[in-house]
Amino acid sequence: MASFIQLMVSGLATGAIYALIAIGFTLLWQTSQTINFAQGEFVMLPAFFVLAAMNMGAPYWLAALIGIALSVVILGVLFKAVIVDPMIRHGVLPLVITTIALSLFLKESVKDFYSSQAQPFPALVAPRDLHFLGAVVSLQSIVVLAVAVATVIGLHLLLNKTRLGRCMQATAQNPTVARILGIPVGRMVLYTFLINGALVAIASLLISPIYLAKFTNGEALGMAAFIAAIIGGFNQVRGAILGGIILGVLDNLSAAYLSSSYRGAFPLVILIAVILFRPQGLLGRVEERAV
Amino acid sequence: MTAVLEVNNLSKRFGGIVAVDNVSFTVNDGDILGIIGPNGSGKSTLFNCVLGQLLPSEGSVRIDGQESTGMRPCDLNRLGVSRTFQLLQVFPQLSVRDNLILAGQEHQGSMASRLFGRPDAGLGDAADQMIEFFRLTHLSDEQAGMLSYGQQKLLDAAMAFMAGPRLVLLDEPAGGVNLTMLGLLRERLQAYHAERKATFVVIEDQMEFVMALCTRVLVLAEGKIIAEGAPEEVRRNPAVIEAYLGH
């Protein structure tokens, strides 16, 4: 029981990080038909922004802010202006291929310009264990979970409780009418790219202390976000949250109780099962958008 | 009395095809003008030229005496021209109430007001009244996409009236709606007209709906106006019967 609680907490923490990445992934899809196969590298990269800032002498908190800001500008604004806007005119598939190329480019650039070695990355809190109902739970897992949950709640409030959020939802659901009603559709789409930039940076700050900062981190993370989005339902923010949590928890439980050598296979098995039996995802609806 | 909508010598050509051929008409304050005609007669093209979705090849459109030819749909919206859609165009995952608030919102607001202003933009009461008027009260918090087709048509109409427009253009409001819902829609549109002296233009294939709702009817065939007048006159006009039944 004690170890089950430990596994659940660390599973939830990992799952919450997957959820953040998957939310950004689905947001981009909903507002601009961007399927971003570089999303994993988008999470890998901000850690190196932070490390670079710290190498220049910035304290951790300042470096973290710089990392988030750079991520919003480069992975949000520049990504949209330089890659998405010119490519989406040619269709969804050319853009997908371009994001795959971008993922390779980001990965190799980090390897060449920074290092191919895994870099230690500072944690948000000093390592400490909490004792809870006989279980030992790491404080870091709790903090990761808290930050991720706070981020999701903040995003939920923004999307559902403000006029801005309603305009963003309207843009995603029916851009033609949104435009006629005078909603600045282009700007709303840009905001989702900014939000994605912030989400991947936060995910990077949370996951890099666990995985260490390494140029290959994006491979597993991008796949996890993609699977989480598919499991939950590609066109739903709540789906991405559910998918991320399921994936994180199952990942931890299966490694402990079934077989750690097949750990990597379980998410893929779930993915195949979902695609076979419920292709719209657990919470998804059959795609309503006429593209 | 100035005309709310004035269309002068409007033509629209697509290559060699003349879809709308030198059409002129006016809509006065408080009119309900029906535009009917067989398929391919140019109704939708005419509508799209008035609404700024197509640029006319020749001629002009004026709203309240102000030149509006070639204005973008969102600018026309600000002039008080709103529309419903032939194919449903609600926001499917937002509630009925949120759909109406969006339709009535002044989108000119700053970033800060969008972020920190009242979530209902001060339009909650107006939205609730509109919901009640169109008999959608029990569905206020439902996602619009979950409504039946006829209910979505009602919502679409309610959205068009939400900003208190000068002129509403209804694009085939009766298409695909069952008879009961059709009766309700017509009755509600008439009630709205009686209460607010609103001005509408309706494009419709369904004769009975147009005849019962409109104060004046204009008949298009092959891009030209072939008849205009009160519903009863138009119905008896031999040219109209010829256009619908002839060939």
Name, in order, each residue with C-beta under 8 angstroms of A131's C-beta and a sequence gap of 6 or more. Answer: A137
Residue B89 has pLDDT above 80, yes or no: no
What pLDDT sits at residue A287?
55
In 3D space, the residue among A193, A171, A192, A196 whose CA is nearest the CA of residue A181 turns out to be: A171
- What the block records as the tokens of A272 is 């195949």
Q: Of 3.40.50.300, 2.60.40.1260, 3.40.640.10, 3.40.50.720, which CATH number belongs to B3-90+163-245?
A: 3.40.50.300
CA B175/CA B85 separation, integer angstroms: 10
Highest mean pLDDT among A98-102, A235-239, B156-160, B189-193: A98-102
What residue of A is the nearest CA neighbor of B105? A181
Contact A173 B115 (CB under 8 A): no
**CB neighbours of A56 closer than 8 A, spacing ≥ 6?**
none
Overall average pLDDT of the B73-83 stretch: 82
Q: Is residue A194 less than 8 Å (CB to CB) from chain B?
A: no
The interface residues of chain A toward chain B in range 106-165, judged by CB-CB distance below 8 A, are 158, 161-164
Task: Kindly give, in sequence order, each residue whose CB lies less than 8 Å from that of residue A95, ignoring residues fewer than 6 positions away.
Answer: A33, A34, A35, A83, A84, A87, A88
What is the spatial distance between Cα B209 and Cα B227, in angstroms, rounded to a whole number?
18
**The pLDDT of residue A291:** 35
Instruction: Search chain A and give the residue with CA nearest B72.
Output: A180
- pLDDT computed for residue A198 by the predictor: 97
Supply the pTM of this predicted model: 0.84
Q: What are phi and psi of A158, to 5 degrees?
A: -60, -45
**How far B73 CA lies from chain A's nearest CA (Å)?**
5
Nearest CA in chain B to A284: B93
Q: What is the mean pLDDT of chain A?
A: 89
Suggest the residue from A177, A183, A283 to mutate for an interface test with chain B (most B CBs closer than 10 A).
A177
pLDDT for the residue numbered A147 = 95
pLDDT at B109 (0 to 100): 59
User: Which of A32, A27, A3, A44 is CA-nearest to residue A222?
Assistant: A44
Average pLDDT for A102-112: 95
Domain ranges (residues) in chain A: 2-277
Q: How far does the CA of residue A181 sit from the closest CA of chain B (Å)?
A: 6
Burial level of B15, CB count in 10 A (0-12/13-18/19+)? exposed
**What pLDDT, in 10s, does the model give residues B155-180?**
888 888 887 788 888 888 887 788 88
DSSP of A133-185, one letter per residue? TTEEEEHHHHHHHHHHHHHHHHHHHHHHHSHHHHHHHHHHH-HHHHHHTT--H
Contact B94 A182 (CB under 8 A): no
Query: Which string of b and e fits A20-59 if b means at least 16 CB within 10 Å?
Result: bbbbbbbbbbbbbebbbbbbbbbbbbbbbbbbbbbeeebe
Helix (H), strand (E), coil (C) string for A52-84: HHHHCCCCHHHHHHHHHHHHHHHHHHHHHHHHH
d(CA A289, CA A277): 22
Per DSSP, the residues of A22-33 read: HHHHHHHHHHH-
Options 1.10.10, 1.10.3470, 2.60.120, 3.10.20; CATH of A2-277: 1.10.3470
- Of A146, A185, A169, which is closest to residue A20 (Cα–Cα)? A146
Contacts of B117 in chain A (CB under 8 A): 162-163
Say if A166 is an interface residue toward chain B (CB within 8 Å): yes
User: A289 pLDDT exceeds 50?
Assistant: no
CB–CB of B209/B182 below 8 Å?
yes
Residue B241, pLDDT above cutoff 90: no
CA dist B15 and B32 (Å) reads 33
Cα–Cα distance measured from residue A108 to residue A92, given in angstroms and rounded to the nearest whole number: 25
Identify the CA nearest to B103 among candidates B46, B155, B41.
Answer: B155
Q: Which of B34, B67, B36 is nearest to B52 (CA)?
A: B67
Q: Characterise B223 by phi-psi region: left (phi > 0), alpha (psi -120 to 50), beta (else).
A: left
Q: pLDDT per residue over A179-207, tens digit each?
A: 888 888 899 999 999 999 999 999 999 99
Residue A290: the pLDDT is: 36
C-alpha span between B72 and B52 (Å, rounded): 5
Per-residue pLDDT, averaged over B98-121, amounts to 72
- What pLDDT is recorded for position B71? 84
CB contact (8 A) between residue B74 and residue A177: no
- Distance CA(A29)–CA(A19), nearest Å, equals 15
Report pLDDT for A2.
Answer: 67
At CB < 8 Å, which residues of chain B contact A?
A: 73-74, 77-78, 83, 85, 89-94, 98, 101-103, 105, 107-109, 111, 113-117, 119, 121, 145
Of the candidates A228, A249, A201, the one whose C-alpha atom is nearest the C-alpha of residue A53 is A201
Tell me the pLDDT of chain B averaged across its residues: 84
- The answer, yes or no, to whether residue A4 has pLDDT greater than 90, is no
The whole-angstrom separation of Cα A271 and Cα A195 is 26
B18 to chain A, closest Cα gap in Å: 27
Of the residues A26, A155, A179, A180, the best mutation for testing chain B's interface (the one with the most B CB atoms within 10 Å of its CB) is A180
Q: Which residue has the higher pLDDT, A281 or B1?
A: A281
Question: Tens digit of pLDDT for each residue in A34-80?
Answer: 999 999 999 999 999 999 999 999 999 999 999 999 999 999 999 99
Instruction: Report the percent of chain B where pLDDT is more than 90.
Output: 3
Nearest Cβ partner for B92 among A167, A180, A288? A288
Sheet holding B66-67, edge to edge: B17-28, B3-14, B58-63, B66-67
What pLDDT score was predicted for residue B209? Answer: 85
